[in-house]
Structure 1
Amino acid sequence: MTSLFTLSGQTALVTGASRGLGQAIAKALAAAGAKVLCACSNSGGAAATVDAILANGGQAQELVADLSNEQAVRDLAAAALAAGPVQILVNCGGTIFRAPAHEFPMSEWHKVIAVNLDAAFLLSQLLGAEMIKRQSGKIINIASMLSYSGGITVPAYTASKHAIAGVTKALANEWAQHNIQVNAIAPGYFRTDNTAALQADAQRNAAILGRIPAGRWGEPEDLAGAAVFLASAASEYVNGHVLAVDGGWLAR
């Protein structure tokens, strides 16, 4: 049974691998045997992730790309493919901007959409084309609780995460016939930089905790099992699914 979850001999590209959820996912895939290409926005940004993987006997290297820049994303795909066939793609890199909708700057709207949605689609397209040739591959997109609801003062982020859920299903519809599984993980409320403002707001923090049946915020490591499952042979017949890892938030 353990062999269902092994990633030995496979290469994974994980964006947003410098910290938080991306870092935890990168470590989990490496622990399962994958060589992990840790993408980040600034040189040296993923050094801690790479070092941790290497220290545990895994394989990892850093790749750098500004996900808001289309050419940089194309270059990232080329660099990943040059490092070897990429069997697993995890689109985790993301950004958020908070402002009331009637004051939301269009420059920030475009940046959030470019990073959270455009880059994920383009990487899926470029690496997916190679997966189609091999008739095998795994793509995991990172969705959100805001793939289901509207949120407050984060219209661009919400739009991008609704779209990620839709793109996941659209790609699954086209690529399942090529033995490519395209799925998403929707994290609940996790302790990351993106939720720092919510954690610091006593009223919002209490309201969030009050709705989570597990009674706590998620920790990045709580995504490890879901990521390995969706990247492994254990999920060969799972396609177009958005897996909530939320401590029961959606069930409340």
Structure 2
Amino acid sequence: MYIFLSNFSLMEIGCTTIIVPKMLTDLLNSKEGISFQGCLTQFYFILFSGSMENILLAMMGYDRYLAICNPLRYSSIMTHNLCYHMAFGSWITSFLMPLIPTIFVSKLHFCNKRGIDHFFCDFGPLVKLSCSDTSTAANTFFGQAWILILSCSTVTLVSYSYIIATIVKIPTSNGRQKAFNTCASHLTVVGIFYGTLIFMYVRPSEVNTSHLDKILSVFYSVVTPLLNPIIYSLRNANIKIALKNILQRKWDNI
């Protein structure tokens, strides 16, 4: 799990670096703007990080399935070598996935009005600015989004269906609680991630929800990367004890 978490953290650092510094610069600068090449680069890496997060969450779900449903065979199946190969495969796949949508967007012709109704170069706002036919680009983008999200979410759902079935069969409540705590952090992150992602991307581009999209984008690019380390850190018993002691001292001083 920690091999996957280290790759997950690296991906989130990259995603935040692509979006947040430029967003803060535009908020402070009255002449905000971005070059076409810079916009395409930002668009590519946003798709890259989204693909990477989908794949890693699916892999982590499978890892939790092995840990709970096959605990005696876990160390022999999920070896370090296999983890590194899976993580490397997720980087390669995520590198290739955004190439075709980025190429299609780069070939679009844009009108004289070039004000992007967003704080980063996302697919929907870019398509709205185009004067050319965007059907091919839209079909390619949403087709890939559906395939990636459905395939990764299916792996996660199947893994958790087996996990729940196994937890229910555990005879003691303490055993069920321990098994649930093993995957609670991952399940929380999965719920937050797919809740925002499906609404943002797996829907028709004609639906005009730009203001809500901006709110969800802030949540996805700023709030979620802030919460994820906290959520996963609470799996560690030492961190739980330290946090409990801090809160207890604060309470005693009130």
The interval holding the TM-score normalised by the smaller chain is under 0.3
Q: Which has the higher contact order (CA 8 A, sep 6+)?
A: 2
Larger Rg: 2
Identify, as 1 or 2, the structure richer in helix: 2
**What TM-score do you get using the length of structure 2 for normalisation?**
0.27
